[in-house]
A and B are shown apart, each in its own frame.
Chain A
Amino acid sequence: MLSLLMQHVAQSGSDAAAAAAADAGSSPIFWFIVLGYFAVVLGFGSYFARFNKSTSDFFFGGRRFSWWLITMSIVATGVGSHSFLKYSGKSFEHGFSGSMAYMNDWFFMPLFIFGWLPIIYYMKVRSIPEYFERRFNAKVRALATGVLLMYMLGYVGIGLLTMAKTLGPILGDSWSLMEIIWVVAVVAGVYITFGGQTAVIFTDLLQGFILLFAGIMLFILGLNWFGGFDAFWNILPTEFKLPLSNFNDDPGFNFVGIFWQDAVAGSIGFLFMNQGLVMRFLACRSVDHGRKAAAFNILFALPISAIAVSCAGWIGYGMMTQDPTLVSPDTDPDTIFVIVTRILTTKAGFGFFVAAVTAALMSTVDTLINAISAVFVNDVYEPISKLRGIHHDDKHHLKVAMVASAAATVIGVGAAWSFSLFDNLYEAHGFFHSTFTPPLVACIFMGIFWRRFNTKGAMATFLAGTVMIILGRLLPHELIEPIAHGVPSIDPETGEVLSTPFKYIGALYNLMACFGSGIVVTLLTEKDNKDLEGLTMFSLTAARRMFKGSEPNDRVGFPQTVTYELDTSLPIGAIRMDREAMNHLAAEQGDLAYICDKRKWLGGLRSAHAHFDGVHNSGETVLLSQDIYDNGHFLPGKLLVVEKEF
C-alpha cells in the first residue's frame, strides 16, 4: 500500500515538474529572456572579433589579459559542462558530499604554479602535443594529437547533446533532439568561429557571473522557502550534511574511489592536460597573473561554485523531507534542478535559470571548439605543410583556424548524434574518458618533473598503458580488486556482481598502469640525448632567458603612467621612453615591457607586449612602433601604463 502511494507521488511529482517546465516553455516572457541571452552572447562574439589580428589573438587573446578576467572565464569553463544537472542530482542522492569533487584540487598546485605554468608560458608552447615533440619526438606528438583531438571532439558532442537534452523538455515534442543540437551548435559555432579566444574570454566573463549569481540566488530563494538557514540545516539528517562521503561502503559513490578518480587523476587532468584551460593561462598577461587566476579560482571561486551547482539538490532533499507530495522520494535525481528551480521561481525566473544552465554548457563547448582549432592548426596543419615544404603566413593560418572551428562544430554535432544512440550516455563517455586521459596525464607529469624520463618511456606510457587499462576493464577482479581499498564489487541492494565494478577506484589502477609502464621502460632503456633546457621544472631560469632572448632583469621598478605617440620609424615590437621614466621602471634596453590602457576594468583588452628600444627626449610620452600601436588597440587621448616585465 505504502509503495503504491509512493509510486503515485513519484508519478505526480514527475508529471508536475514536466507540466511546469512545458508550461514555462509556452510562455512569451520565458522565451524573451532565453532568446535575449543568446542575442547578448552573439553580440559579444561579434564585437570582440575585431580584436583578432593574428593566430596569437585568435587562440591566446594576444597574451594580454588580467588575472580576474581569466579567473571568471575559468569559472564559466569549469562550472560548465553538465555541472548544474549532475551535481544537483548527486547532492540530492548523497548530500553535501555530492559536491566534494569541487573541493579537492589544491594538492597539485605547487607543481602547477611553479612547474607546468611557467614552462608552457615561457617556452611559448601553443598546444599540449607541441610540448610532447619538444620534450620527446614527432611520433609522441602525433600520438598525443590523435588522443587529444578524439577526447575533445567527444566532449563537444557530449556538451551539445546535454544542452539539447536540457532544452528538450521545455521546447516540447515539436522539436527533435537533432534540431535542437543543430540550433545550439550554430549559435556556439558562429561566435567562436568569428570571435576566437577573446570572444570566448569575454563571453565567459559574462557567463561566469550569470552562473554564480543564478546558483547563489537559487540557494537564497531555497533558504527563504524554509524560513531561514537554521530551519533548512535542522531538517537535514547528519549523514546528509557531511562534506565527504562514506570511505568505501557504497560501490556507486565512495570517498576513496572519488579521491583517486577526481582529486588525483581529475585534478592533474584539469590543470595539466586541459588544452582549453592551458590556452586560458596563456592568454594571461604574465606568469604571475596566471598564478593569481589559478589560485583565486581554486581557493575562492570553486567553493562558491560548489554551492551554486549543488544547492538545488540540498534544497530538493529538504523539501522532500518536509513535504513528500511536493518533491517525491523517488524523483529522478537528474531532474531535481529543474523541479526545484520551477518551485522556487516564476516563469521569467525559470527562463533566467534555463539561460544560465545553457550558458554553462555553452562555455564548455566554446572553449573546446577553440582548443580543437588550436590543436588542428598547430599540430596537424602546420606539421603537414612543413613536410610538404609549404610555408603559410599568419593570415592564412587564421583562416584555417576559423574553418577548423566551424568543422569542429559540425563534427561535434556528428559526435552528439552518435552518443545519442547509446542508452547510457555517461557510461559510454566515461569509458572513453578514463581510457584515454591517464596516458596523457602520466606522460605530461613525468615529462615535466623527471629529467630521466625518455622517449621510449613516453611511448610505453601511451601504448602499454592503454593496453593495461583495457585489460583492467576485462579483468577487474584480478587486476583492480587488490588495490581497491575494500570497495565492494557487489551491488549492496541486489547482491549481484556489478557489470562495471570499481568505476571510481579504477582510476588508481589506470594511473599505476600508465606511470608504471613509463617508469619501467625508462629505467630499462638509455637516457635521451636531447637538450631539455626550459622543458622541465629544473631549468626554468633558462626558460625565462629563452623567452626574453637575453638575461632577465629582476630589479624592482615602478609602473609609469604616460601619454603615447606613434613612431613609424621604430623597429617591430619596440617602444621608447625618456631616461627618467626608464630609471623609475628600473628598465634597460632590451627588457620586456607591458603597455596597457590605464583603465584597469578593461582587464588588459587594450594592451600589448613590447621591448624597450633605447631612450628619447620627448618627456613623459611613450613612443610606439606601428605593430604595437595596432595590436594594442589603444584609443586616442587615453593614458597608458607602462611596466617592465623582466
Chain B
Amino acid sequence: MDEFPDFDRSWLPYIYLYGVGGIFFLGGMLLIFKSKACDWKRASHRRWAKVLIFGYFWYAAIHGVLIYSALNI
C-alpha cells in the first residue's frame, strides 16, 4: 500500500517555493516599476508586464497540478 506523504514532502516545498520565490518576484516587479524601467504608458511594456505575471502563475499551476495528481492515489 502506497503511503500518503507528509506535509513537508508534499505542499510545504510548494508553499516555500512560491512564497519566498514570490517575494523575490514581487520585489523585482516593484523595482522595475519604481525605476521606470517598465513604463506602463508604453503598450509593449504593458504586454511584457502581463507576460511576467502570467509566467509566475503558469509555473505555480504546473507544480500545483503535478502535486495534486501525484497525491490523488
On A, residues with C-beta under 8 Å from B are 96, 103-104, 106-111, 113-115, 118, 237-239, 241-249, 255-256, 259, 263-264, 288, 291, 295, 298-299, 303, 449, 536-538, 540-541, 554
Contacts and interface: CB of A to CB of B under 8 A. Distances in A.
Given A107-B21, A115-B37, A244-B13, A238 B3 contact: yes
B70 to A, nearest CB: 4
- Main SS of the interface on chain B? helix
B16 to A, nearest CB: 7
Given A110-B29, A111-B31, A243 B70 contact: yes
Nearest to A245: B13
Contacts of B37: 114-115, 118, 537-538, 540
Contact of A298 (B55, B63, B69): B55
Contacts of B51: 295
A329 B28 CA distance: 45
Given A106-B25, A537-B37, 16 more contacts: A114-B48, A238-B3, A238-B71, A241-B69, A241-B70, A242-B5, A242-B70, A244-B14, A244-B63, A247-B13, A255-B13, A259-B16, A259-B20, A291-B48, A540-B36, A554-B42
Residue of A108, A243, A536 with most partner-chain B CB within 10 A: A243
A359 to B, nearest CB: 27
B13 A109 contact: no
Contacts of B28: 107-111
A30 to B, nearest CB: 36
B66 A96 contact: yes
A110 B52 contact: yes
Nearest to A540: B37
Residue of A247, A288, A299, A540 with most partner-chain B CB within 10 A: A247
A299 B55 contact: yes
Q: 9 shortest A-B CB distances, which residue pairs?
A: A110-B28, A241-B70, A244-B13, A255-B13, A114-B37, A114-B32, A247-B8, A243-B66, A107-B21
Interface in B4-40: 4-5, 8-10, 12-14, 16-17, 20-22, 24-25, 28-29, 31-32, 35-38
What is the size category of the interface that chain B forms with chain A? 35 or more
B53 to A, nearest CB: 9
A243 B69 CA distance: 10
Contacts of A249: 8
A618 B65 CA distance: 60
B52 to A, nearest CB: 5
Interface string B53-72: 00110110011001101110
Contacts of A537: 31-32, 35, 37
A238 B36 CA distance: 46
B27 to A, nearest CB: 9
Given A103-B63, A238-B5, A295-B51, A111 B32 contact: yes
A243 B10 CA distance: 9
Given A241-B70, A244-B13, A244-B67, A107 B38 contact: no
A271 to B, nearest CB: 12
Given A110-B32, A111-B28, A103 B59 contact: yes
A299 B12 CA distance: 23
Contact of A247 (B16, B38, B63, B67): B16
A288 B51 CA distance: 13
Contacts of A106: 21, 25, 55-56, 58-59
B63 A238 contact: no
A237 B71 CA distance: 10
A247 B12 contact: yes
Contacts of B44: 288
Nearest to B72: A238
B23 to A, nearest CB: 9
B9 A239 contact: yes
Contacts of B22: 107
Contacts of A554: 42
Nearest to A485: B16
Contacts of B45: 114
Contacts of B73: 238
Nearest to B56: A106
A537 B52 CA distance: 17
Nearest to A254: B13
Nearest to B28: A110
A242 B32 CA distance: 34
Nearest to A486: B8
B59 to A, nearest CB: 5
Nearest to B8: A247
A243 B17 CA distance: 12
B59 A246 contact: no
A298 B58 CA distance: 11
Nearest to B43: A556
13 contacts: A103-B59, A104-B17, A114-B45, A237-B2, A238-B70, A238-B73, A239-B5, A241-B66, A248-B8, A255-B16, A259-B16, A298-B55, A303-B62
A291 B50 CA distance: 13
Contact of B17 (A115, A259, A540): A259
Contacts of A245: 9, 13
Nearest to A291: B48
A303 B55 CA distance: 12
A104 B14 CA distance: 11
B31 A449 contact: yes
Given A244-B63, A255-B16, A299 B24 contact: no
Contacts of A107: 21-22, 24-25, 28, 56
B20 to A, nearest CB: 7
Contacts of B66: 96, 241-243
A108 B52 contact: no
A102 B26 CA distance: 21
Contacts of A118: 37
B24 to A, nearest CB: 4
Contacts of A243: 62-63, 66-67, 70
Nearest to A95: B70
A256 B15 CA distance: 11
A242 B25 CA distance: 24
Residue of A107, A241, A298, A540 with most partner-chain B CB within 10 A: A107
B28 to A, nearest CB: 4
A131 to B, nearest CB: 16
Contacts of B8: 246-249
Contact of B38 (A114, A255, A303, A538): A114
A387 to B, nearest CB: 35
A114 B10 CA distance: 34
Residue of A104, A114, A243 with most partner-chain B CB within 10 A: A114
